[in-house]
Structures are given as structure tokens and as C-alpha cells.
Amino acid sequence: MNLDTALAHLPHGPEFRFVDRLTQLAPGQSGAGEYTVRGNEPFLRGHFPGEPIFPGVLLVEAAAQLAGVVAQSDPLVPPLKNLKLAALRNVKIIGTARPGEVLVLTATLTGRMAHLVQAQATACVHGNLILKAELTLSGMITPGASMLA
């Protein structure tokens, strides 16, 4: 599955996508991807003036988007409608990303029940762990779809 197809199953518009490339994908199981912090993102102007860093909450969002791509790519489970981040556990933001740096994201699904998807996710920059999180995503089951996974 290519990135555009995978991202089409997420509710975000292009201006709020934080995965540029898929580097690995085991559909419905795990994936890896990248996002390059360009430096021209509007939110960087105020976070922080003169010393821009990628906001921690958007690190979590990037990881959740990759987890959504993994979940929505499962060939045995129909995509969930309006899949969104629903819960966070054990989130640790232990580093930063600056303009010009590449976030290397990983997500592994750890559980799935009906409209809920659980995942473990990380983000690294230059090989250094900057985010570790347990995520829960929630969507709507398409009427008539089987959710036997």
C-alpha cells in the first residue's frame, strides 16, 4: 500500500499530516515512517520564536497517524470510518525535533477490539529516542463490515 492510499483512510487534511514517507509496512501489524520538519510550518513561528522545536503534542499526533495507517492497511479488517486518537498512556517526550531534522516513527499494533485499536509508538531523531507512547485509536465500524480480527 502506498502512503497516499493509506492516508486517504485517515480523517486529516493534507495540511495536518505528519507522515511524509512509509519506510516499512506489515499491514495490520506494524510500520515505520518519516516526517521531515521543514521549518516553514506555521506553528513553528510561535513555538518558540528564534528557537523553533516541533511541538510534543504533534509528535504524539505523528505517531498516532502512523498507527492509523498500520491499522487501516489490514487486509482482513475493513477500514474504520473517522479513525481518531482517543487515549494516551505512558507518554514520554524525552527529546525534540528542529527544522531540517527527520522524525523516524514506528508503530506496532498491540490490540484490536471492534472500533478500538491499541498501539505502541516511538519517534526518534538522529537515532535518539524522543517519544515513546501507548495509543488508543477509535473509529466507526462501517455498517455490514465484519470485525473478526
- Is the Cβ–Cβ distance between 136 and 117 less than 8 Å? yes
- Which residues, including other chains, have CB under 8 Å from residue 73's CB and lie 6 or more apart? 1, 6, 9, 25, 27, 28, 31
Q: Which of 9, 47, 115, 126 is catalytic?
A: 47
From 59, 67, 100, 106, select the one nearest 86 (Cα to Cα): 67
* C-alpha cell belonging to residue 44: 513553528
Q: Is residue 47 annotated as part of the catalytic site, yes or no?
A: yes
Q: Report the half-sphere exposure of 54 (CA within 13 A, side-chain side).
A: 27
The Cα 31–Cα 120 span in angstroms is 11
Q: Which residues form the catalytic set?
A: 47
